[in-house]
Structure 1
Amino acid sequence: MSDIRTESANRVLSIILDRPAKKNAITDAMYGDIATALARAADDPETGAVLIRGEGPDFCAGNDISMFAAAAAGEQNILASNIGPFLEAISTFPKPLVAAVTGQAIGIGVTMLLHCDLVYIAGDAELRTPFIDLGLVPEAASALMLPERIGHVRSFALFALGEPLSGAEAATIGIANRALPADEVERAAELAARTLAGKPLSALVATKALMRNAEAIAAALDADQKAFAAQIQTPEAAAAFAAFAARKGPPAS
């Protein structure tokens, strides 16, 4: 098991990003373990809902930058990584999926929320999607799903300008259900997950399926994974990762 921890109680499986020293940035091994946990939860009749949260003050600082740097250098094929299985698992997960977000949510830490059914967030959380600043394109079907959720101009500002969004703003525009004090977020998300887990599961699964355009999401995932893999090989991406390394020191590991 990588830096992922799982806990089960009251028919809720909690998937915990457990890498607080790196603000829960996700490694390739972590992507694989999340995908495995979601697959098992989907098939487990004793699991009625899943809760995703981060250990420590931050939810998720995005993808571990070392993966992108290796792909940009031609040392890793991003399409052969565990990112694909993770995206497929979270985008097709049939049961209710709840997120508890505090602190920083960056990149995939934001875009995965679009695949969650309920999101509880700290009012002072900070959301950022700096894909273009890294010479990349948005992933996780977010170029389709975010404009559908909050409109084109707001989405373009997040993607292209890299403007940060507070948790309070995220709740106001519909990325999250409720903005709360940070110390109340986990409890609210757990209560919601337990409530969902106590409801008729087949009806919840059927309702979720009716509410999501699975074909459009799958097509968007395929398109943006191909675009992402192509963009990560460009000189722009290589320059962006070199500049990032110069500012931050050695990549996270």
Structure 2
Amino acid sequence: MTESIQTEVVEHILQIRIVRPERKNALTHTMYDAMTAALQQADDKSDIRAIFITGTEDCFTSGNDVQDFLSHPPSGPDSPVFRFMRTLQQCRKPVIAAVNGAAVGIGATLLLHCDLVYLGPAARLQMPFVKLGLCPEYASSLLLPALVGHRRATELLLLGETMSAEEAVNTGIANAVFDKDYQEKALDKARRIAALPPAAIRMAKQLMKEPLEEQVSRQIAREGAAFVERLSSPEAREAMMAFMQKRPADFSPFE
């Protein structure tokens, strides 16, 4: 456990909780390392049947911690955020997410790689990569258009529009919205999974993922390389400076 990532195994379920409310559960490189280690542990231990990921009651995660991100930018496939992406994508055990409040950036794209996603009523998904001078990540440029259609995906990925909990369910990104006790109700789903035959569960998940696995891996790698390249672009520098200075970004000088 780190200060901000809490893990415990209860009833054959590994629970991963993002708990950094003073920074809206923003993720640092050490938090990515902690979640990667927890996921790897879950995949290796036969007594763990399911994985449950959540944040605090009113916030999932606001995405990357900007200060930490600028101090430790991803530079290649072995960077903490990319290791986390691969580990979650390749996880053999079923992953259940419970989300309320902000799910920004990777907080939204990681949901595309979970097996079950349950939301609280205040859940809001946003992928503001282009606004930051960056590009989509985590195969979102492949998976999101397939789920919501090209035009809506363009609004979400290019304009960075916010998706409500109801729309996330209607488009297939999430399973359901729970008005009350969303974490406990999502955890009940994890308990049901954990009570089922574990080898059969793993095989069913593998069979469902296999048809797109190579394409998803290729897209993650392509996006990752472009993301690292974009980080050093003048547009991204302007966007980050504007964010830190709490002013509107000015992209008018760029072609």
Normalising by structure 1, what TM-score?
Answer: 0.92
1:69/1:238 contact within 8 Å kept? no
2:74/2:80 contact within 8 Å kept? no
1:14/1:51 contact within 8 Å kept? yes
Q: Which residue of 2 aligns with 1:149?
A: 147
Q: Distance in 2 between matches of 1:88 and 1:96?
A: 15
Residue 191 of structure 2 aligns to which amino acid in structure 1? R
1:122/1:168 contact within 8 Å kept? no
Are 1:245 and 2:241 counterparts? Answer: no
Give the gaps of 5 or more residues in structure 2.
248-255
Give deviations 1:151-204, integer Å, cap 9, x for gaps.
Answer: 2111111011111111111111111000121x3210111000010011111111
2:85/2:138 contact within 8 Å kept? yes
Residue 97 of structure 1 aligns to which amino acid in structure 2? V
Residue 197 of structure 1 aligns to which amino acid in structure 2? A
Q: 1:77 to 1:38 in 2, by over 3 A?
A: closer
Q: 1:77 to 1:184 in 2, by over 3 A?
A: closer
* TM-superposed deviation, 1:205: 0.9
Q: Which residue of 2 aligns with 1:57?
A: 58
RMSD over aligned CA atoms reads 1.4
Q: Which residue of 2 aligns with 1:38?
A: 39
Q: Which residue of 2 aligns with 1:224?
A: 223
Q: 1:121 to 1:158 in 2, by over 3 A?
A: same
Give the gaps of 5 or more residues in structure 1.
249-253
* TM-superposed deviation, 1:23: 1.1
* TM-superposed deviation, 1:77: 4.6
Q: Distance in 1 between matches of 2:75 and 2:25?
A: 20
* TM-superposed deviation, 1:221: 1.1
Q: Which residue of 1 aligns with 2:134?
A: 136
Residue 94 of structure 1 aligns to which amino acid in structure 2? R
- The alignment partner of 1:123 has SS state of coil
1:101/1:125 contact within 8 Å kept? yes
Q: Which residue of 2 aligns with 1:19?
A: 20
Q: Which residue of 1 aligns with 2:189?
A: 192
Q: Which residue of 1 aligns with 2:252?
A: none
Aligned length: 243
Q: Distance in 2 between matches of 1:165 and 1:215?
A: 28
How many percent of aligned residue pairs carry the same amino acid?
38
Give deviations 1:208-250, integer Å, cap 9, x for gaps.
Answer: 11111221111111111100000111000000000000118xx
